[in-house]
Amino acid sequence: MAVPLLDLKAQHATIRDGVVQAMLKVVDDQAFILGAPVGALECEVAGLSNTKYAIGCANGTDAILLAMRALDIGRGDEVVTSPFTFFATAGTIHNVGATPVFVDIDPKTYNIRPDLAAAAVTSKTKAVIPVDLFGQMAPIEQVRKVLPDGMPIIEDAAQSIGARRKIDGAWRMAGEVATIGTFSFFPSKNLGGYGDGGMIVTQDETIAKRLMRLRVHGGMTTYFHEEVGYNSRLDALQAVVLSAKLPHLAAWSAKRRENAAYYDAAFADIGDITTPYIDPANESIFNQYTIRVSKRDALKDHLKAKGIGHSVYYPLPLHLQPCFAYLGYKKGACPEAEKASDEVVSLPVFPELTRAQLDEVIVAVRSFFGK
What are the strands of the beta sheet with 198-202, ordered from one edge?
53-57, 198-202, 180-184, 154-156
Please state, in angstroms and rounded to a whole number, the distance separating the CA atoms of residues 35 and 335: 47
81 neighbors 102 (Cβ within 8 angstroms): yes
| Across 68-90, average pLDDT | 98
Q: 339-350 as b/e, with b when 16 or more CB fall inside 10 Å?
A: bbbebbbbbbbb
Q: Which of 137, 362, 180, 182 is nearest to 261 (CA)?
A: 362
pLDDT at 74 (0 to 100):
97
Q: pLDDT-based confidence at 5, cuts 50/70/90? A: very high
Q: 125 φ, ψ to 5°?
A: -70, 125
pLDDT at 33 (0 to 100):
87
Domains belonging to the chain, first-starting first, are 8-247 (3.40.640.10), 250-368 (3.90.1150.10)
Name every residue whose Cβ is closer than 8 Å to that of residue 73 and which is 6 or more positions away in sequence.
79, 93, 96, 98, 126, 127
Please state, in angstroms and rounded to a whole number, the distance separating the CA atoms of residues 152 and 144: 9
Please state, in angstroms and rounded to a whole number, the distance separating the CA atoms of residues 85 and 109: 12
pLDDT at 173 (0 to 100):
98
Distances (CA, A) of 201 to 56, 62, 182, 208: 9, 13, 6, 8
Distances (CA, A) of 300 to 114, 307, 341, 347: 32, 10, 13, 10
Please state, in angstroms and rounded to a whole number, the distance separating the CA atoms of residues 263 and 278: 14
| Residue 123 reports pLDDT greater than 90 | yes
Secondary structure element (H or E) that encloses residue 213, with its range: helix 205-214
For residue 173, what are the β-bridge partners? 164
Q: What is the distance of C-alpha 56 from the center of its chain?
A: 16
| Residue 20 reports pLDDT greater than 90 | yes
DSSP symbols for 256-293 = HHHHHHHHHHHHTT-TT-BPPP--TTEE---S-EEEE-
Supply the Cα-derived Rg of the chain in whole angstroms. 21
pTM: 0.95
Q: How far apart are the first and last CA of the chain?
A: 19
Q: Average model confidence (pLDDT) for the chain?
A: 96
Maximum pairwise Cα distance, the chain: 68
| Type of residue numbered 253 | S
67 neighbors 183 (Cβ within 8 angstroms): no
Q: pLDDT-based confidence at 222, cuts 50/70/90? A: confident
- Each residue's pLDDT tens digit, 246-286: 999 999 999 999 999 999 999 999 999 999 999 999 999 99
| Type of residue numbered 232 | S
- Each residue's pLDDT tens digit, 135-185: 999 999 999 999 999 999 999 999 999 999 999 999 999 999 999 999 999
CB atoms within 10 A of CB 295: 13
pLDDT at 236 (0 to 100):
93
Secondary structure element (H or E) that encloses residue 337, with its range: helix 335-343
56 neighbors 41 (Cβ within 8 angstroms): yes
